[in-house]
Chains A and B, each alone.
Chain A
Amino acid sequence: MRDCTIVLAIGESKNYYFAMDSDIAIRLQNTTKVFYPPGAQPVTAVDALTLDIRRGEIFGLIGPNGAGKTTTLRMISTVLKPTSGNVEVAGFNTVSHSDDVRRILGFLSGNTGLYKNLKAREMVEFFGRLYGMPENDLHERTKRLFEMLEMTEYAETLCDALSSGTKQKVNIARTIIHDPPILVFDEPTVGLDVMVARTLTDFIIGLRDVGKTVIFSTHIMREAERLCDRIGIIHKGELLALGTLTELLQKTETNNLEDAFFSLAETPKLQV
């Protein structure tokens, strides 16, 4: 994954600027999301979440299924609007400046699919065009990304015919085609085999090395332990704890993240 760093560094030159000259990449203030399913009780998926994610860190959002991780990430990536509260990405409000936010984000989730009738190259270039990249830059960068990810030979293959590992590589290429400074990964390793998952986590570390900000969610505690600079533990829509791995373990007097989670989930709200 060393090559990866080089290519991403080339991309750096065309980086987007943060609206606010600040250390905060993503800021959530009292962010709440309530769903109103027809014919059922309203569901508060995220409850008054307040959280800062710093520039250049890998931030992990940890919690069981249904904790509100995906909803939080979807609010950050502008797909959902918060019911109340604010979300800012690089100083841009996700509701009032959703276009700016989407431009500086790269988003990848575990169940992201590919257009099966597009070729791998077409798939990546399609998204590049949506990000407004000029054709020349786009071809150049697509080529480099494919080389870096060792998948040049599959460039003209229909996505449908690719192996799951190559598919995930196409997805990675798609996520970083526009060289976003902030990346959002929603359970990116779900359903991947061990080898492919490892490629992906290595890739995330590579992203930090070139100065990107990464927020990612997972329910696999090991992954978080290995990758994250800081970790937020979320349960039933509420943030239970926030800090580095060491801080969390100290505070909960446990040896690993899993135990830390259970000790927190049983005792209400504890700010580290």
Chain B
Amino acid sequence: MNIRNVTVIFKKQLIELLRDKRTIFVIFILPLLLYPIMVVGFAQMSIFLIGKMAKETYKIVIENHVQAPELFSLIEADSQFSVVQVENADSALQIGDIQLFIRIPDGFEKKIASGDSDTLRISFNGAKEISDLSLDRLNGLVNDYRREIVSRRIENAGLDSTLVKPVFERTENVASEEKMGGMVFGRILALILVLMVITGAYYPSVDMVAGEKERGTLETLLVSPVGRIEIVIGKYLTVFVLALVNALLNLASMGLTIGVGLKAMGGNEIMGKMAFSIDIGTMAIILLELLPLAALFSAIFLAISAFANSYKEAQGYLTPVFLAAELPAMAAILPGIELSQGLAFVPVMNVALLFKAMMVGDFDPALIITVWLSTAVYAALALRWATSILSNEESLLSETKVSPLTSLFSRGKKSYKTNGEAGPVDSFILYAIAIALLFLIGVPAQMSNLIRGLAITEIFLVLLPPFLFVKQMKLNIKSTFRLKAPRLSGLLVMIPLTISGFFLITQFQVVFFKVFGLPFEYIESMQGILNTFKGLGPILGFAAIALLPAICEEFLFRGYILDGLTRGWGPVAGIIVSGVLFGAFHMDPNRLVSASILGIIFAMMVWRGDSLFYGITGHLVNNGIAFAIFIIGETPFTSRFFGENYAPIWATFAMAVIFGSTFYYLWNRLPNNIHNNEINHIT
């Protein structure tokens, strides 16, 4: 790589973009305006809302008030009540002219003074919120009034007043002002910051690849003696720098707004509640975390932009990706979602969650490193991907290649309409969507009702999206999902293959447990889930834990995702990556490896046999065994073969032989599918 060429390209790109009004606005002007506007807007709204509530006065009619002068004066003294007189109190209450109507019986306070009791009749209008609120307020007053009477009576009886109030309470909010402010405002700021970085990478990348293609300058660049890699790096650096400058400006503007702006308005009660401080150290960490995030999106956007032939088309591709990237960031601002060891690996969401935690001033330093590293790894992979796409002659010259994505997002165009094929990008997009849906809908649904939540997750979040993708892209359902008749012998052999595989994976977990001291949680975590199915009985339980996932997850992973990946990357990478994606989908570090292995085995057989049914059978058997072991419960048999200790060596040996021979049989006997040849041609 010639550094000089990279510099020449970088400089030229920078000059070009800095003369572009839109870039100037998004990168430089927007950050400077956004935060002050947000703060002011936020503050104005709070002032408006709180002010409105505080100013509200309740109109109250008190009938026969001379009978209760003491209560009457209490109510009159309350500034929120205004005692009025109307002709017909009942109908005034109905139409909302007044909020409360109190009827005081004759001789009320005299009766009370004599130690007797009496009833106040209070009418309110439950259909009006304000009437409800006024009732709360009145109840408070009446309680005070009641307490006063009680203590007077006790005093009269010569007793101590603690007699009727043995317990006092005093509440205290342990959250500091900063935390409170951070909670409300920090969440939104964390989101905005992440989104702005992504936005910063968006425009330059569209302009630099698709824009150049459209203007016909890219070909000229390609015939000059610059290496493809130099072009890619030059452009990449430009996007990266602009995204970073954008991030810096956002951060600076945010810091200034919070540090100077909010403090200046600190006298105000509402502003005070929003105020929180960010110290230099926190700023530095935030900046550090923004680096790999900017690198990640620069690469992703550049690569996708290469599929488009024009600026407009590129926007068509990038907007959905942009929105998909926003989802995990948005999820981060939901209350209740906190950064954990697992979530530290979810791209975008991890950074947003970390920022949220930092705004509140409460985070685990170890996670800073995890978030940074995982994002950096994603960024490196994305850059690798971008280079391979941008170095590909055909993706750079307009008429030669049509991206599979095209058909998804530009339906109007005739040439892309039919016969599209899924590619790796589509697989990842679908996967990202499924993960996002799992977080946003699946997890909450399962928390409120496990069975219904699981059914919703599997059917609507796992099974439905790949079908929608297939329909949108006008793909062939049968070939994408490999819905071809399997061989009966193949299906039958899948059963011993999976059983022995299950056994071996369990032993594998034991090895991890014994050798590395990792928690033995494969079976346990499964059992944790299984326990909740106790009430269901064997048939429904089997359906929920084995049948449903076996069908739905196979359509997603061994159907759509596998198909897209193998088309783009060939069978080896396609099978392995789809397996790992499957493993990661389980969101459980303890099961990542085992589920990935399982996913790879199923993917191999589905690909080899060109039928999804091999995967469904295997998945069904695997989950079925887990469920069966649970139903059987702790018996000498289960603890001997599937427990925390090594199974007898003969059993492991026998299972290994069964696994090896069934695997060998299947691999060689299944019809080698025709996709093979197609792939060889395309790659």
Contacts and interface: CB of A to CB of B under 8 A. Distances in A.
Nearest to A126: B12
A93 to B, nearest CB: 15
A270 to B, nearest CB: 30
Given A103-B225, A132-B225, A39 B418 contact: yes
A268 interface: no
Given A36-B681, A80-B397, A122-B15, A114 B222 contact: no
A130 B401 contact: no
Nearest to B220: A112
Contacts of A1: none
B19 interface: yes
A109 B219 contact: yes
Interface in B154-172: none
Contact of A38 (B215, B220, B222, B420): B420
A221 B393 CA distance: 31
A127 interface: yes
A38 B404 contact: yes
B681 A114 contact: no
A102 B393 contact: no
Nearest to B20: A117
A262 interface: no
Interface string A216-228: 0000000000000
A29 interface: no
A10 B640 CA distance: 91
Contact of A127 (B224, B397, B401): B224
Interface in B2-20: 4-5, 8-9, 12, 15-17, 19-20
Nearest to B418: A39
Interface stretch (A19-27, A55-63, A71-79, A237-245): A71-79
Contact of A117 (B15, B219, B222, B420): B15
Contacts of B17: 117
B64 interface: no
Contacts of A74: 397
A81 B418 CA distance: 28
Contacts of B400: 35, 37
Given A36-B681, A80-B393, A112 B226 contact: no
A143 B418 CA distance: 52
Contacts of A212: none
Interface string B665-683: 0000000000000000110
Given A74-B397, A102-B223, A39 B5 contact: no
Contact of B215 (A42, A102, A103, A114): A114
Given A38-B402, A114-B217, A158-B19, A81 B393 contact: yes
Contacts of A77: 223
Interface string B17-56: 1011000000000000000000000000000000000000
A137 interface: no
A42 B219 CA distance: 23
Nearest to A81: B393
Contacts of B225: 99, 102-103, 130-132
B19 A39 contact: no
Q: Interface centre among B397, B400, B421, by most A CB within 10 Å?
A: B400
Given A38-B404, A39-B421, A74-B397, A117 B16 contact: yes
Contact of A40 (B12, B216, B394, B419): B419
A79 B682 contact: no
Contacts of A117: 15-17, 19-20
A102 B20 CA distance: 30
Contact of B682 (A36, A109, A118): A36
B397 A112 contact: no
Contacts of B419: 38-40
Contact of A102 (B9, B12, B219, B224): B224
A74 B220 CA distance: 11
Interface string A93-113: 000000100110101010111
A271 B155 CA distance: 128
A129 B8 contact: yes
Contact of B216 (A79, A80, A111, A130): A111
A39 B216 contact: no
Interface residues of A, number: 37
Interface string B174-191: 000000000000000000
A111 B4 CA distance: 28
Contacts of B682: 36, 38
Contacts of B217: 112-115
A113 B16 contact: no
A54 B418 CA distance: 45
B223 A105 contact: yes
For the residues of A in contact with B, the DSSP-based class is: loop
B3 to A, nearest CB: 13
A116 interface: yes
Contacts of B5: 130
Contacts of B420: 38-39
Contacts of B402: 37-38
A174 interface: yes
Contact of B8 (A36, A109, A126): A126
A158 B219 CA distance: 21
Interface string B634-658: 0000000000000000000000000
A131 B393 CA distance: 20
Nearest to B225: A102
Contacts of B404: 38
Contacts of A107: 219-220, 223
Given A36-B681, A38-B402, A130 B421 contact: no
Interface in B194-253: 215-217, 219-227
A112 B225 CA distance: 17
B564 to A, nearest CB: 12
Query: Which of B5, B225, B682 neighbours the largest number of chain A CB atoms within 10 Å of its CB?
Result: B225
Contacts of A131: 224-225
Nearest to B222: A79
B411 to A, nearest CB: 16
A107 B222 CA distance: 10
Contacts of A129: 4, 8
Contacts of B394: 35
Contacts of B226: 130
Nearest to A74: B397
A113 B397 contact: no
Contacts of A115: 12, 16, 215, 217
Contact of B401 (A37, A111, A158): A37
Contacts of A111: 216
A131 to B, nearest CB: 6
Contacts of B215: 113-116
Contacts of A102: 223-225
Contacts of A112: 216-217, 219-220
Contacts of B418: 39
A117 B393 CA distance: 26
A189 B421 CA distance: 37
Interface of B: 4-5, 8-9, 12, 15-17, 19-20, 215-217, 219-227, 393-394, 397, 400-402, 404, 418-421, 681-682
Given A36-B681, A39-B419, A117-B17, 17 more contacts: A35-B394, A35-B400, A37-B400, A38-B401, A38-B404, A40-B419, A78-B222, A78-B223, A102-B225, A107-B223, A113-B217, A116-B215, A122-B12, A129-B4, A130-B9, A131-B224, A132-B4
29 contacts: A35-B400, A36-B682, A37-B401, A37-B402, A38-B420, A38-B421, A38-B682, A39-B419, A78-B222, A79-B397, A80-B397, A81-B393, A99-B227, A102-B225, A103-B225, A114-B215, A115-B215, A115-B217, A118-B12, A127-B220, A127-B224, A129-B4, A130-B9, A130-B221, A131-B225, A132-B4, A132-B225, A158-B19, A174-B220
Interface of A: 35-40, 42, 74, 77-81, 99, 102-103, 105, 107, 109, 111-118, 122, 126-127, 129-132, 158, 174, 184
Closest 4 CB pairs of A and B: A39-B419, A113-B216, A113-B215, A102-B225
